Amino acid sequence: MENGGRILTRDEPLGARDCPCESWTFEGTIMPQANARSLEWWVGTSATACATAINRFPAMNATCWPLDRLGINATLPIASNRFAVTIPARWIVDPLTQTCTPPASISAGSNVHVTAMLRPPDDMVPVGTVPVTVSVARPQSVQVVTASGAESSAIVEWQHTRAEDGGIATVPANTAGYYVLCLPRIVGYDAGLTATACAPIVTDSGTDSGVVTDSGVDPDASAITDSGVVVDTGVATMTDTGTSPGSCGSESLPADFDPNDDSQLGLYACSPLLASGTSRYTVQGLTNGASYRFAVVAQDNAGSRSTPSTFTSCVSPEQVTDFWERYRQSPGMTAAPGCSTAPSRFARSMHGGWIAAGLAVAAIAAHRINARKDKRS
């Protein structure tokens, strides 16, 4: 784009799940000045933060930080005046230490501005900025979760209300949905989550890309290749671990469990992402007599996830015996399709006796009628 134009427009915010692994690409066109030699990239707290030298790092109380340490600066002239640059998300969130925790000067829920600048002149000239909403703060956790057992299942219910409302049933703004977690974990359940492998990012002098790509090949065993891709089979069938009843109280999440890590969440999630406003979910495919506990994780529109709620007490699904099952199990009776019953041998013999008695009564009656007719004649 021309000087002063926006470099890239991105609708969704940069969330906690984006930060560790994602890289964002900014591209467009630019009309360089005659004596400009390079295109530099900075991150500022406002659209104009990088326009003044006194705001730029390493100035005290800087509000604009360079990304030149990435080694991503393009050298001009650029073919057809076009450029494309890829920046790891963690550099946008924290341009100083490249973590996923914004510095104090960058609010966890505000816009930062990625700025393209030309050099020379030494003071540099901003040629375009684009706002990026940084939203890596965890959303509010779900407050109350309860569970009750049913046949081969459990019914989980929860409350997620805005803390500032004093308990009024209003779902916090920006809530996108929920995941239900199970302990012990349900082996083989697919919550639709795919693990993402992060490529390590190395800080260097700017002479190379600064991104190290892991080929997945072990140099000591070159025949073994790790693709780094977790295949999602799409199978949503649960296979229980066979945990004995009552043992669920000893199960807990790993100490380093982070719900923003899809691979970790996928191990313990026993539901897909449920829509915002949902407050009840039935976990199917559980083993009757086994014990389970449940918690809920909230997810916001940026994809950031809350810490898990407190887990429920242990719940044991049990077989439910209804009227027809009890009737079927009663002595001498078996249930037939359509809820009808087939009589036992004793019942059949009694039924036959009543038929025989009925026929005998009918024969006697017929004999008496015939005798009366003979007398009249």
Residue 147, H or E segment: strand 144-150
d(CA 79, CA 86): 17
Q: What is the pLDDT of residue 180?
A: 97
Q: 73: how many CB neighbours lie within 10 A of its CB?
A: 18
Q: 344: how many CB neighbours lie within 10 A of its CB?
A: 13
Token digits for 348?
Answer: 């059949």
Q: What is the pTM of this model?
A: 0.61
Residue 340, H or E segment: strand 340-342
Q: What are φ and ψ of residue 302, in 5° steps?
A: -85, -5
Q: What is the pLDDT of residue 127?
A: 79
CATH number of 14-135: 2.60.40
Average pLDDT, the chain: 73
d(CA 270, CA 286): 10
Q: What is the pLDDT of residue 182?
A: 95
Cis peptide before 131 (omega within 30 of 0): no
Distant-in-sequence, close-in-space partners of 120: CB < 8 Å, separation ≥ 6: 35, 36, 37
Query: What is residue 363's three-state secondary structure?
Result: helix
What is the residue whose two structure tokens read 């780094």? Answer: 228
Is residue 270 within 8 A of residue 181, CB to CB? The reply is yes
Domain ranges of the chain: 14-135, 144-195+230-300, 321-377
Q: What is the pLDDT of residue 238?
A: 45
Q: What are φ and ψ of residue 263, in 5° steps?
A: -65, -35
Q: What is the pLDDT of residue 211?
A: 45
Residue 223, H or E segment: strand 221-225
d(CA 124, CA 50): 9
Q: What is the pLDDT of residue 155?
A: 96
Q: What is the pLDDT of residue 219?
A: 47
Distant-in-sequence, close-in-space partners of 70: CB < 8 Å, separation ≥ 6: 41, 87, 88, 91, 206, 209, 210
Cα-Cα end-to-end distance for the chain: 125
Instruction: Give the residue ranges of DSSP H helices in the chain.
Output: 89-93, 262-268, 323-329, 345-376
Same-fold call for 14-135 versus 144-195+230-300:
yes
pLDDT means over runs of 10, the chain (377 residues): 36 79 79 71 90 89 80 56 80 85 71 83 78 86 94 94 69 91 89 67 43 48 44 42 53 91 92 94 94 95 92 91 60 50 47 54 57 53
d(CA 336, CA 324): 10
- The structural architecture, per CATH, of the domain 144-195+230-300 is Sandwich (2.60)
Q: What is the pLDDT of residue 156?
A: 97
**Model pLDDT for residues 273-328, shown as the tens digit of each residue:** 999 989 999 999 999 999 999 999 999 988 899 999 999 999 999 987 665 555 65
